[in-house]
């Protein structure tokens, strides 16, 4: 009898223990799910390329381009700077009635076979440039004879006409530096000046 109740008692205790474990597990909160990984940051949109400042300037400058290789462009700029020095010498000498100095300075910008050849070479890729460049030097031919006559008014008039040819040419044309292949394509000439010494180039004032 005692053994009978002992078995049932053991069984009852086991059932109660199982029930308690089940209730305990049901009362506990479910474990939280791990947070989802943050999405990978998208690559920033590529920045637009900075505009080419030379191209921007060319777009604003509507004058006709004169294609020149770098050495040609630099030589042309040197000549134009020297032309301005000649004009400055003429006007300064005129203020002092220094007729010999006027004539000497004027001869540096007068026309010559060498000057004509240089102007044709520089203007090979721009229609109309050579004619305007030669006009500048042809008009300058009148300055020295006026100085030899000590005619101040004629000197001023010839100098003004020369400067007018200069400014009108600059109002129409601008330099455009190109490589030798492009220059050859535009002009039909094949001179590569990329390695030429500036001292070897002549024409204009020296």
Stronger pLDDT, 9 or 206, i.e. the higher one: 9
Q: Where are the domains of the chain?
A: 67-191
Nearest to 133 by CA among 155, 156, 109, 154: 109
Which range among 17-21, 55-59, 136-140 has the greatest average pLDDT?
136-140
Quote the pLDDT of residue 190: 82
At the top level of CATH, which class does the domain 67-191 belong to? mainly alpha
Instruction: Look at residue 43 and tell me whether its pLDDT is greater than 90.
Output: no
Q: How far, CA to CA in Å, does 53 sit from each of 36, 60, 119, 124?
A: 49, 11, 29, 26
pLDDT band for position 48 (50/70/90)?
confident
CA angle, residues 185, 58, 122, in degrees to nearest 5:
45
d(CA 125, CA 58): 17
Mean pLDDT score across all residues of the chain: 83
pTM attached to this predicted model: 0.70
CB-based contact 172:160 (threshold 8 Å)? no
Q: Tens digit of pLDDT for each residue in 127-166?
A: 999 999 999 999 999 999 999 999 999 999 999 999 999 9
């Amino acid at each position: 009898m005692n053994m009978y109740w002992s078995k049932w008692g053991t069984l009852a205790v086991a059932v109660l223990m199982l029930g308690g474990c089940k209730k305990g597990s049901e009362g506990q909160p479910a474990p939280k799910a791990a947070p989802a990984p943050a999405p990978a940051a998208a690559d920033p949109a590529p920045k637009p390329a900075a505009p080419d400042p030379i191209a921007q300037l060319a777009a604003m400058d509507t004058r006709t381009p004169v294609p020149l290789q770098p050495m040609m462009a630099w030589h042309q700029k040197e000549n134009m700077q020297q032309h301005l020095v000649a004009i400055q010498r003429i006007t300064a000498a005129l203020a002092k009635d220094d007729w010999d100095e006027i004539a000497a300075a004027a001869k540096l910008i007068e026309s010559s076979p060498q000057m004509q050849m240089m102007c044709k070479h520089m203007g090979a890729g721009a229609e109309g440039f050579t004619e305007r460049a030669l006009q500048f030097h042809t008009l300058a031919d009148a300055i020295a004879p006026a100085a030899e006559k000590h005619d101040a008014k004629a000197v001023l008039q010839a100098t003004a006409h020369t400067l007018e040819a200069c400014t009108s040419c600059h109002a129409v044309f601008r330099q455009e530096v190109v490589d030798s292949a492009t220059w050859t394509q535009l002009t039909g000439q094949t001179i590569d000046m990329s390695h030429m010494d500036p001292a070897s180039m002549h024409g204009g004032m020296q």
